Each structure stands twice: as structure tokens, then as C-alpha cells.
Structure 1
């Protein structure tokens, strides 16, 4: 823990305060608490950006090759999306849920080794294809996370309406139609990012003569993740499945993504360096 910098500790504390003020506004309408929470979140984003740049200058490479760096970068992307959604949607409960997810990811990164440096045997640290691949993959995962949260909220709201249960805090959620539309929109953004990420790593395999990785569990599961989200789009655009069915499949697709991101790292020779 002693290796963590002071700025990182400040980010955690400010993020916690931001969530507390946002929670206060979510439970009881409090415009002042909302503005304080949003202001603190902006400061968190600025500090995260500075922290990321400092690590990049310190280690002389784009810091996304270790578990700490990857999760921190992932959290930064989600916070960025959260700030944009706060302007676009103006639905406190949803934005709060996204921020809780980003904060959880950041806390998990806190317990990883921030002093770990990548020791790649097969890849050069400055391989541009590698950095672009990881950056695009993490960006797609962030949008899929937001879509997952939207789908969870959709099913909760759908169940409440079906059972004719109503609570005041549900007023802070968008309509079912709007939730479904934004869940689809975030998948539409995330899917091309994931597709390009996979294409780039396939190009890397060809250029470096590492086609054997095509049979690696993580690579195979990446294609499964891609297929799951493509099927979601087919259900949405071609089959015209009902919203609750789409939300359920979107959740399943994200669970497959989690399996790819977490479990397969322990059984794969591909990307094992992320978990240092």
C-alpha cells in the first residue's frame, strides 16, 4: 500500500465524497448536493487524467499493460462516460449507478500492485498495435458496462411496473423506452470498438507469426463476446424482440465479457501480463 501515491489517495477520498453527495441527491432531491457531487466528480476526472499522464511519463510507455493500469484506465473511461451522461440524460439514479461501478473498479485497482512493470516475452512494449488493441478493447468494455447497467435498471423498472409497485426514486429513472434506446446506443458504440480491437490483434498475430494464439481460450472467448453482442443487435434490429428480452440477453452478453476479462486470464497464455 505504501507504493500508492498521494494523488491516488486523494482521488479515492474525493470520489467517495462525490458518491455520498450524489446519493443524497438521489434519495432526497437536493440541487446543492447534486452540484457538489458533480463538481467533485469533475475534479476526480481531472486528477485521474493527471495521474495517468504522470505514470506515462514516469514509465515511458502508455500505462495499460498491468492490472493496476488497466483497471485505472477502465475506471477513467467510465467516469468520462458518466460525466457525458450526466449532461445528456440528467437522470440521477442511473448516473449514480454508473459512478458506483466506476468507483468499484478503481477500488479494485487500488489493491493491485501499482509498482508492477510489464515483462513481455513475446511483445515489444512499444508495439503500437498492442496499445491500440488494449485501448479500444477497454473502451468497448466501458460502453458495454454502461449498457449492462441500463439493462439491469430496465428489468428492475419493468418488474416494478408489472407488479404495479411504485417508489418515488423510480421517477429518477428514464422511461423504459429511453432506457432501451440508450442501452442499444451504447452497444452500437462499443461493438465497433471491440471489432476493430480484435481485427488489430489478428493483424498483430499475422505480422509476428503468432497464429497459434487463435486457439487460446481468451482469444476464442473474445470471438464469443463479439458474437453475443452481434446477436443482441440481430434481436433488436431484425427479430424486434421485446425490451425485457433484449435487456436479459444484454446482461448475458456482459457476463460472457466478464468471463473473458477475468477468468480466462488465469487459464490463458494471452494477456496474462494484465494481471501483474
Structure 2
């Protein structure tokens, strides 16, 4: 198996793992057994990929491959994935499974895109470039989900205003009911938040690898994690505090407006997010 084949296997593992973690996030919030089952099988495929590589590396080196930092990190990820599968199948401790997989995803991405552990310099550079592409793609998908969620919240507020003033015109009947509008807004945020989290993880890894003077206090970095925090508070208010209706729609609208500030203003102030300008 060539180095480039390993690179493709790494990338596929990261993408499948990202989808698995997103589904575990949905199950974590809503006890969705269907999402849990799909996440389990995706994680199983990731485990097969990782085990295949580990065995191949063992045959190639004629030893147990844990002597270098890269090998030790890879084995650590493999152990976390294995334990996640066992816990999910036997113990059903869902909170442990979700947070373990977030940690393991971070380590897998770090190992996958770290330069020059098994690949040639050209392959490593290609992987780093592809890491940036995946980071941007996941961030844009999250922004797209948040944008649609914002639209549903705006429609909710329009519908709420019309009902409050008892304006029973055609405009009111063309929009779906308040419950459906609120639910669609929530579901889209449910998709967007884990995508943003995973995209930020990959972005931080890329920055540490590629940028000589990476700073956590960069405007874009602080802004992006602030967006993550604002949308996390949205879920806290809805799930833990049980808030619904107008208050949540307004919070969601405010969250999206903050996202726009982060995208346009903080992006222009960043020292390395030049592709946003």
C-alpha cells in the first residue's frame, strides 16, 4: 500500500469520523437511537480502516508500532475508537461515548494531517492543503445551516407578529405553523453546531502546522469560538432551561447576526484569514 493510498484512507477516516461524531451529537441531545446506530456503524468502518493500517504498519516494521510519537498517537486514537465501540455496544453510556469521540476525532485529525510522519514532503504538503479545504468546507456548511435556521426564525417572528395582531390574511396561511417553523430552525442548528465544532478543530490543527506565529487571540479565532459559544448557549437555553417560542427565535436571530459580524468584520481583522477578505 503506497503512501498516497494511506493519505486517502486517512482523509476518508476523518470525513467518516466527522459524520459519526455529528450523529452522536444528535443522539446526545435527543436520545435518537437511529442516529446512534448509524454513528456506530460509521465508527465501525473507521475502526476497520484504522486497524488495517495498524496491522500493515506492524508487518512493514516487523514490530509493535508504538515507538515514535506519531505511532503512539495513532495507537492512542485506535484505543479510544475501540473503547467507544465497546462502550456503545455493551454499556450504552452515551455521554461518555460522545465526548470520547470528540477527543478521538481531534487526535485522529492531528495524526492524519501532521506533516512528515510517514509521507513524503510533497504528500504532507498536499495533505495540509486539503486539510484547509476540509476546514473551510465544514465551516461553510455550518454557516449555511445557521443561515437557513435564521430564515426560519425570521418567518417565526413574522408569523408571531401577524397572529398577535390577528391579521388573518393570505400571507399568514402561506406560512407553516409556529411549531414547525421553530422545529426546523432548531434542526438546522443541530446540524450546524457539530459541523462548526469539527471545522474549528481542523482549522486549529492547520494553523499550528502551517502558520509560523499562530495566536489564539487573533480576531477571527476568538470570533469563531465565540460563535460556537453563542450557539451552544442556544442549545442550553432550549434543552436544559426548556425555553421555546419568541425568546429562542430572537436568540437565534441575534446569534446569526453575530456570526455575520465574525465573518465580515473579524475576518478582515485577522492576520491569516486573508481568503475571507
TM-score, scaled to structure 2:
0.52
Q: Which residue, 269, 272, 276 being the options, matches 2:271?
A: 269
Distance 1:211 1:189, change over 3 A: farther
- Measured after TM superposition, the shift of residue 210 of structure 1 is 4.6
Question: In the TM superposition, what is the alpha-carbon distance from 1:261 to its structure 2 partner?
Answer: 0.8
The equivalent of 2:235 in structure 1 is 233
Q: In the alignment, which residue of structure 2 is the partner of 1:116?
A: none
Once residues 168 and 209 of structure 1 are traced to their aligned partners in structure 2, the CA distance between those partners, rounded to angstroms, is: 55
Match of 2:71 in 1: none
Secondary structure at the counterpart of residue 215 of structure 1: coil
Count of residue pairs brought into register by the alignment: 153
**Unaligned regions of 5+ residues in structure 2, if any?**
1-124
Aligned to 1:146: 148
Post-superposition offset of 1:140: 0.5
The change in CA–CA distance for 1:272 and 1:207 in structure 2 (over 3 A counts) is: closer
Matched, 1:220 2:225: no
Matched, 1:134 2:129: no
Could you tell me which residue of structure 1 aligns to residue 247 of structure 2?
245
CA contact 1:143–1:190 (8 Å) conserved in 2: yes
Question: Partner residue of 1:92?
Answer: none
Structure showing greater radius of gyration is: 2
Q: 1: distance between equivalents of 2:180 and 2:237? A: 18
**Mind listing any 5+ residue stretches in structure 1 that lack a counterpart?**
1-122
Larger relative helix fraction? 2
For 1:130 and 1:162, how far apart are their aligned partners in 2? 47
Higher relative contact order (CA 8 A, sep 6+): 1
Cα distance in structure 2, aligned partners of 1:166 and 1:210:
61
Flag the 1:270–1:124 CA change in 2: closer, same or farther, 3 A.
farther
- Show the counterpart of 1:159: 161
